[in-house]
Amino acid sequence: MLFIIRFVVVVIFSILICLFGTIYCLFSPKNPRHVATFGHAFGRLSTLFGLKVEVRVPADAGNYGNCIYIANHQNNYDMVTAANAVQPGTVTVGKKSLVWIPFFGPLYWLAGNLLIDRENRAKAHGTIAQVVHHIKERNISVWMFPEGTRSSGRGLMPFKTGAFHAAISAGVPIVPICVTDTHNKVKLNRWNNGHVIVEMLPPIDTSAYGKEQVRELAAHCHDVMAARLVELNAEVVDREKAAKR
pLDDT per residue as tens digits for the range 80-106: 999 999 999 999 988 888 899 999 999
Domain annotation for the chain: domains and CATH numbers = 2-244 (3.40.1130)
The model's pLDDT over 221-243, given as tens digits with 9 standing for 90+, comes to: 999 999 999 999 999 998 888 87
pLDDT at 124 over 60: no
* pLDDT band, very low/low/confident/very high, at 193 (cuts 50, 70, 90): very high
Lowest mean pLDDT segment, chosen from 14-23, 99-108, 116-125? 116-125
Which sign, positive or negative, has the C-alpha torsion 175, 181, 183, 189? negative
SS3 236: helix
Continuous segment of H or E residues that includes residue 20:
helix 2-26
Q: Shortest CA distance to 52 belongs to which of 73, 17, 80, 12?
A: 80
